[in-house]
């Protein structure tokens, strides 16, 4: 009888439930800074206040190249806008990859851009 009882005690030690910590889903973190080095493709630029809520970022068009965060080259073909700073400016927001609101005040902008005439200069300045 002692052997029978010890067998069940031994069996019970192997079958103990495993207690684990509760699984916590990571909370998505909002990025404080826009990732401007990843912006390319077709872009719709608007300065209409009615379309301000549709915009992903607010952009200021800088007159000086030295002060701009991103140098942009306007592509004539959407297929060639495949690297950071290469934008195909579209006239319809329905066909755009990104929608930006052009603000006249630099303080309200998320980042600033400058249009360059050389394709090799386009890109991030960081």
The pTM for the full model equals: 0.71
Given this model, what pLDDT does residue 9 score?
A: 58
Within 27-85, where are the H helices? Answer: none
What is the pLDDT confidence band of residue 36, given thresholds at 50, 70 and 90? confident
Q: What is the pLDDT of residue 58?
A: 96
Please compute the mean of the pLDDT values over residues 113-118 and round it to a whole number. 95
pLDDT averaged over every residue in the chain: 84
CA–CA distance, 34 with 111 (Å, rounded to integer): 8
User: Is residue 5 predicted with pLDDT exceeding 60?
Assistant: no
Question: How far lies 111's CA from each of 26, 29, 57, 60, 106, in Å?
Answer: 29, 20, 8, 6, 8
Evaluate if residue 32 carries a pLDDT over 70: no
């Amino acid at each position: 009888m002692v052997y029978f009882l010890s067998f069940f005690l031994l069996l019970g030690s192997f079958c103990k439930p495993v207690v684990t910590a509760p699984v916590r889903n990571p909370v998505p973190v909002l990025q404080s800074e826009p990732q401007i080095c990843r912006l390319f493709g077709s872009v719709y630029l608007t300065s209409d206040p009615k379309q301000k809520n549709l915009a992903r970022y607010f952009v200021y068009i800088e007159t000086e190249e030295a002060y701009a965060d991103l140098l942009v080259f306007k592509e004539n073909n959407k297929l060639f806008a495949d690297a950071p700073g290469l934008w195909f400016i579209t006239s319809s927001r329905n066909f755009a990859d990104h929608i930006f609101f052009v603000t006249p005040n630099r303080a309200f902008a998320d980042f600033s851009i400058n249009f360059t005439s050389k394709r090799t200069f386009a890109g991030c300045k960081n």
